[in-house]
Copies of this chain bind each other. A is one copy, B any other.
Amino acid sequence: MTTFEFPFEQLPAILRGPRVERRRVLIGGSALWGTILEEGGAAGRLRLDDGRIVDPAGLAHLPPVAPSKIIAVHIAYRSRSIETRNKPQPTDTPTYFTKPPSALNGHLGQILKPADVRYLNYESEYAIVIGRTCKNVTPDEAWEVIGGFCCALDMGLQDFRDTDQGSMLRVKGADTMLPIGPGIVRGVNLFEQTLRTYRNGRVVQEARIGEESIWGPHYLIADIARHITLEAGDVILTGTPCHSRSIEPGDEIECEITGVGRLKCSVVETPIPRASPLGVGHAPTDSPEVRRVALGFDERVAEHLKANYRAAARGER
């Protein structure tokens, strides 16, 4: 089963230039769309749709997407597969879970960690934004329904890993657990980009997307759309490389994808939910499985295998 051929004979239009980045920034209580200027002395500045040119650096942003659904791949990087299962390929085919739209969060937003939760993990990913309703397409056809790409942080409250029987609704679905942005970008060859996570400015995850991710966006779309209609605006999160770890209130966490953007949020502690002391619902737990995922898997084995995985992976393809 193939995924994508790299380099492409002809690069799909969504991966070819010119680059276009659209953002939705907040100025006071006004949510305003704009386009990043690409050239000249003002490159990097934001031309609001109202014509003003501003520095986007200090501005809070809303998510540049309004999906009817958000579907996420469990594992799609060889390094993450090795780390979690000691295999360079997780399975022959991707597996998925969902996050509700209420989890969306914007650039420079707060990631909320309830006081009774111990493990809040980051996972940097690139997000695919669907541009046109589709179902039952082939991977080749899937390229043309892509509307753009975003940086995303697939955050998770790992203390709830023991519940929900694998759906991860409470792990990954809590409010603010999906920072996405700063903008939505088209016209960039995603396969030549590098994905990085910064915790308080220090790199903690890194992967070359074209070499280390297992399935291309067209494959994921074609897979899901076998049974599920993807609607314009829907978001697919494409998995994270190894080294997702737990962070703390006060931490700043960033997802950078070269050519796409750099998305930053900070962690803030919030009170224990009012229903929890009444005995409602599953309590956060601190089991060995929770700690294994939150704090890192068997590091020794993972490091060993990762050193060899490119050769191994090449042999497999």
Contacts and interface: CB of A to CB of B under 8 A. Distances in A.
Contacts of A191: none
Contacts of A33: 133, 135, 229
B275 A139 contact: yes
A166 interface: yes
Contacts of A137: 274-275
Contact of A227 (B2, B71, B170): B170
Given A101-B68, A164-B96, A228 B174 contact: yes
A200 interface: no
B22 A164 contact: no
A50 B276 contact: no
A170 B225 CA distance: 10
B229 A232 contact: no
A291 B271 CA distance: 45
Nearest to A22: B133
A312 interface: no
A166 B167 contact: yes
Interface residues of A, number: 95
A270 interface: yes
A227 B114 contact: yes
A229 B280 contact: no
Contacts of A280: 1, 93, 138-139, 219, 222-223, 226
Contact of A165 (B68, B74, B147, B227): B74
A50 B270 contact: yes
Copies of this protein in the assembly total 4
A95 interface: yes
A287 interface: no
A29 B271 contact: no
Interface string A229-257: 11111000000000000000000000000
Interface string A76-97: 0000000000000001111111
A109 B27 CA distance: 7
Interface of A: 1-2, 22, 26-31, 33, 48-52, 60-63, 68-69, 71, 74, 91-98, 100-103, 105-110, 112, 114, 131-139, 147, 157, 163-170, 173-176, 179, 181, 219, 222-233, 265-266, 270-276, 278-282
21 contacts: A26-B29, A29-B62, A29-B63, A29-B107, A30-B109, A30-B110, A49-B229, A50-B271, A68-B101, A68-B102, A93-B280, A95-B282, A114-B227, A137-B274, A139-B280, A170-B228, A174-B227, A175-B227, A222-B281, A223-B275, A226-B276
Given A52-B271, A94-B282, A225-B273, 7 more contacts: A29-B105, A30-B106, A30-B109, A50-B271, A51-B272, A51-B274, A136-B273
